[in-house]
Amino acid sequence: MTLKFVRYAAWAGIVLLAFSVGLASVLWYRGQSQTQTTGIASIGGDFSLVDTNGARVREADFLGKPRAMFFGFTHCPEVCPTTLFEATNWLQALGSDADKLAFLFVTVDPERDTPEVLKEYMSAFNANVVGLTGSRADIDAVVKAYRVFARRVELADGDYTMDHTAAVYLIDAKGAFVGSINYTEDQDAAVAKLKKLLGKG
């Protein structure tokens, strides 16, 4: 075997490897794009929950109206009250357009967040923010449908807290997920997203 042949074989091997890596990258990118598209489309769906007055509500009650949905719990030490206070400011910034948006606060802790508890808690925030609870089965179903992370965490004193998704979900008037507002996102950016959701941006 000559040195020239060895060099040629090595070069051919490098070219083949580069082609394989490039092809694999293209296939991976296409797969990621398809996964993301499928993921967005699969976020959301029907739910059956109870508002702070004890009335049963479903997704159909909000169709035709864009909505923002935040999942949390009343015993939350920071993320939930911060987000709901920020939401109050967002809705004030929208002015009269705030009435065209449904803003839902869905508890992930229905064992403690009864309609009565939730009603008292929600009184501290903008009246346009609707608190929703339900049975554990009801909450598990909506958490699954909206691909929300929610997990009970036991504490040393025998109590517990909840880890949960901190983003606000943005749903258009047809019930399709179109984006989110991240925790502590700049107010101007958040309001701009809500205006866009309302067709004002």
Residue pointed to by tokens 């839902």: 104
Instruction: Give residue-wise pLDDT tens across range 74-132.
Output: 999 999 999 999 999 999 999 999 999 999 999 999 999 999 999 999 999 999 999 99
> How far is the first Cα of the chain from the last one, in angstroms, to the nearest whole number?
70
What's the whole-model pTM score? 0.79
**Residue 159: which pLDDT band, with cuts at 50, 70 and 90?**
very high
DSSP H helical segments within 42-176, as ranges? 79-94, 115-122, 136-145
Q: 102-107 and 67-72 as β-strands: parallel, antiparallel, unpaired?
A: parallel
- What is the C-alpha to C-alpha distance for residues 1 and 7, in angstroms, rounded to an integer? 11
